[in-house]
Every structure is written in structure tokens, then in C-alpha cells.
């Protein structure tokens, strides 16, 4: 089990101290995939670097299986931490040194890349054992048979797999991954994230992952911590974060949402020219200011009124065909929201429509004033 307690890291710059990580605490149970998710500069990489021993935190404790890696007057160097890692621009080997490098070493063969961490380790295995471990590791990531190939002659996806094989070859207790898929094109990225998920589940290796990509975080993780300005602002299972975000920032970061401000009334929120029936987060009492979080995939656009609860009339501005649904933009008074319609629906731009907001999927949370960038009101895309 990995335990991080009240971690703090400040960088000193000419312009003063940058509080990169402030009071960060979390626990990763054995075999779990844990993701630090947040926008650029929120402190994810610094946290991971502290776990790796590449940064010396000035406060807090890091423990792996009860052993203190950092804090309480101790600091275990990277090479003694029993971790494997794939950072975007570093390759690190236990019992050796830290090299600034690409995720892989292009001038070495596939075999040499994977064998290297074993060859430089203090308890260097025999030649035969190295060959066996390299073979095993390459088989894990589906690169068997490519041992002699120069690493630079691998495809992007194969290079990522090679980086993983190298990180895993010493069978570390903890795997640290910092945006390992970010250099891949969209299709390959999707395929690789399935592979990574399967591999992690199969090996049951405790993993900490860093990304700013919410879909990747939700897809891969058992638990996700959302970071903002050096702090964890919410932590939970992907489903919990998505369905019950604690703040507008989290709601926006883990998925698409339209935010509608209003005032809490009994069983709902006064907004959109009526009362929207919805779930209310605990902190909300009648009279409080609230923000409705409306996920586009839960909102249904109908060409006519159906007479159901929570139905609001508006004007359709965009209806783009996306195969399994029409992705719509609807104006209701001052509110511009995204919603979905049946792919076969006959809809015309600027026609009157009704948007159904299923009460079970509408949530109101306290309005702390934070807002994402507004959806544009210039509708250039034609309705199909």
C-alpha cells in the first residue's frame, strides 16, 4: 500500500516560492490504479516526482508497504525505492542513476533497452536470467520476437510498450506513469489505453498515473484524485466523481456540463424560467444559491412536448449528426446548453424544441462562482 500524508513541495524561483504541492494526502491500496488528474500546473508531476524520489519534499511523509520513503527525517534515493516508471522525458533505473532521455533509448535495441535496468542493478542477475526476464517482460507487452530491432525502428505504440516493458522488468512494487500516452495520435492512444488497463489489471501492480485527460483518467482508474492549484480537491471512484462532483471545477474537469445558476427551492432549483427538479447536494438548503450541473448526454431534445416532468422549451441552434445521436445546442432563455437527440429525429436549425432534463440525472451543487469558458453563441454549423 502507498500512503502519502500532507505532502508539501515548494520551488524557489527568482519571483519567489511556487507552492507546487500543498498538503496532498492519499492512499493507494495494493493492486489499484490511482490517477492524479488536473489542468497544467496543478502539481501532478511534482507529486509523482516526489514519489519517485526525484524531488525532496519539505513536508509530509511517503510510505510504501509501511516503509518510509520520504519524511520523518528520512529520504530513500530513487534507486532504492523499488519503483518502475515511464515519464515523458525521463528514463530511470533503480540501483543506478537518472538519465534525462526519451521514454526509450533510440540507439539501443529492444533487448538492450529492457535489459539495461537489470544490467546496471547492484544485484545483477546472470546473463541467462537477464535473457529470461527480458523475454518475459516483452511478452507481457506483446513485443516478443522484436528483441534485435533497433528501438527507433518501432512504431509509436510499440515504443510505448517498450517503455512499459522496461519499467516492469524488475517487477517493481509501484509503477509511476506520467502522461505516457500523450505523444500518440488519438486512435493509437485509445488502443494503448485499453492495453494498459488490461496489463495493469492482469499484473495487479499498484500504479500511480498522471494525466490532464479526463477520459483517460475515468477509463483507466480505480480511483481518481482531481487536483487544483497544488491540492487534491476531490477524490473518488470515476463514477462518483462524474455523478457527484463537489464543485463546478470538478464537474467541468471530469466531463462536459452546462452550468445553470439558480436558487434552491423545495426539491429543485428555480432556473430556466421554471423549477428544475433535481438532486441537491447536502450543503444546499432552500434559498441558497446553487449551480445546476447538466451533462449533455443525459439531456434529450424532442421536436414536440412530451408532457413529462422537467421539460423546457427552447430554440435549436445546432444539431450535428454523430452516428448514434444528434449532438445539439439549444438556447433556453439566456442559457446555451448541449443535449442529444435521436439520430433519426427530423430537426431544423432555429426550430422550437423541448429539452427533457431527467430529474435523476440533474444535480445541483453550491455555487462558488467558478465558471468554465462559456459556450460560444456563434452557431456556424448547419443543422442536418
Residues that bind ligand ATP (CB under 6 A): 11, 13, 18, 20, 38, 40-46, 212
Q: Which residues contact 73 (CB under 8 A, 6 or more apart)?
A: none
**Chain CA centroid to CA 17, Å:** 27
SS3 79: helix
As measured in angstroms, the least distance from the Cβ of 18 to ligand ATP is: 4
Closer Cβ to ligand ATP, 20 or 271, answer by number: 20
As measured in angstroms, the least distance from the Cβ of 218 to ligand ATP is: 17
Instruction: Determine the Cα–Cα distance for residues 375 and 370; give it in Å rounded to an integer.
Output: 15
As measured in angstroms, the least distance from the Cβ of 140 to ligand ATP is: 28
As measured in angstroms, the least distance from the Cβ of 20 to ligand ATP is: 3
Closer Cβ to ligand ATP, 153 or 182, answer by number: 182
Closer Cβ to ligand ATP, 81 or 212, answer by number: 212
**Residues in the chain, total:** 384
SS3 114: helix
Closer Cβ to ligand ATP, 11 or 321, answer by number: 11
As measured in angstroms, the least distance from the Cβ of 97 to ligand ATP is: 19
With beta carbons less than 8 A apart as the criterion, state whether 238 and 226 touch. no
Q: 132: how many CB neighbours lie within 10 A of its CB?
A: 12
**Strand 174-178 to strand 98-100: parallel, antiparallel, or no bridges (unpaired)?**
unpaired
Reading the block at residue 343, the C-alpha cell is 439520430
As measured in angstroms, the least distance from the Cβ of 118 to ligand ATP is: 30
Give me the residue whose beta carbon is nearest to ligand ATP.
Answer: 45
Instruction: Determine the Cα–Cα distance for residues 258 and 362; give it in Å rounded to an integer.
Output: 11
Closer Cβ to ligand ATP, 25 or 281, answer by number: 25
> Degrees (nearest 5) of the Cα angle 160, 165, 168?
125
Helix (H) / strand (E) containing 383: none
Closer Cβ to ligand ATP, 40 or 122, answer by number: 40
Amino acid at each position: 500500500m502507498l500512503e502519502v500524508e500532507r505532502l508539501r513541495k515548494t520551488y524557489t524561483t527568482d519571483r519567489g516560492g511556487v507552492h507546487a504541492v500543498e498538503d496532498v494526502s492519499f492512499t493507494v491500496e495494493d493492486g489499484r490504479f490511482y490517477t492524479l488528474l488536473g489542468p497544467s500546473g496543478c502539481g501532478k508531476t511534482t507529486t509523482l516526482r516526489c514519489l519517485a524520489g526525484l524531488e525532496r519534499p519539505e513536508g509530509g511523509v511517503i510510505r510504501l508497504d509501511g516503509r518510509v520513503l520520504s519524511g520523518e527525517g528520512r529520504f530513500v534515493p530513487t534507486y532504492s525505492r523499488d519503483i518502475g516508471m515511464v515519464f515523458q522525458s525521463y528514463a530511470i533505473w533503480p540501483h543506478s542513476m537518472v538519465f534525462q532521455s526519451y521514454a526509450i533509448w533510440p540507439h539501443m535495441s529492444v533487448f538492450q533497452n529492457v535489459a539495461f535496468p537489470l544490467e546496471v542493478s547492484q544485484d545483477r542477475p546472470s546473463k541467462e536470467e537477464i535473457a529470461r526476464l527480458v523475454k518475459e517482460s516483452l511478452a507481457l507487452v506483446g513485443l516478443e520476437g522484436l528483441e534485435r530491432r533497433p528501438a527507433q525502428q518501432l512504431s509509436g505504440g510499440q515504443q510505448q510498450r517498450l517503455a512499459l516493458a522496461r519499467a516492469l522488468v524488475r517487477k517493481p512494487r509501484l509503477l509511476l506513469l506520467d502522461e505516457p500516452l500523450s505523444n500518440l495520435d488519438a486512435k493509437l492512444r485509445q488502443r494503448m489505453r485499453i492495453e494498459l488497463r488490461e496489463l495493469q489489471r492482469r499484473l495487479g501492480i499498484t500504479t500511480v498515473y498522471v494525466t490532464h485527460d479526463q477520459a483517460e483518467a475515468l477509463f483507466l482508474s480505480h480511483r481518481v484524485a482531481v487536483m487544483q492549484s497544488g491540492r487534491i480537491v476531490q477524490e473518488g471512484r470515476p463514477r462518483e466523481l462524474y455523478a457527484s462532483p463537489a464543485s463546478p471545477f470538478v464537474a467541468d474537469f471530469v466531463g462536459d456540463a452546462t452550468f445553470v445558476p439558480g436558487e434552491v427551492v423545495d426539491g429543485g432549483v428555480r432556473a430556466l424560467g421554471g423549477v428544475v427538479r433535481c438532486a441537491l447536494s447536502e450543503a444546499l438548503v432552500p434559498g441558497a444559491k446553487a449551480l445546476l450541473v447538466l451533462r449533455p448526454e443525459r439531456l434529450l431534445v424532442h421536436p414536440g412536448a412530451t408532457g413529462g416532468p422537467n421539460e423546457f422549451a427552447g430554440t435549436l441552434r445546432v444539431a450535428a449528426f454523430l452516428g448514434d445521436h444528434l449532438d445539439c445546442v439549444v438556447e433556453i432563455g439566456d442559457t446555451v446548453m448541449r443535449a442529444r437527440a435521436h439520430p433519426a429525429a427530423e430537426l431544423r436549425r432555429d426550430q422550437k424544441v423541448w429539452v427533457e432534463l431527467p430529474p435523476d440525472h440533474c444535480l445541483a451543487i453550491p455555487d462558488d462562482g467558478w465558471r468554465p469558458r462559456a459556450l460560444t453563441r456563434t452557431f456556424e454549423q448547419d443543422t442536418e
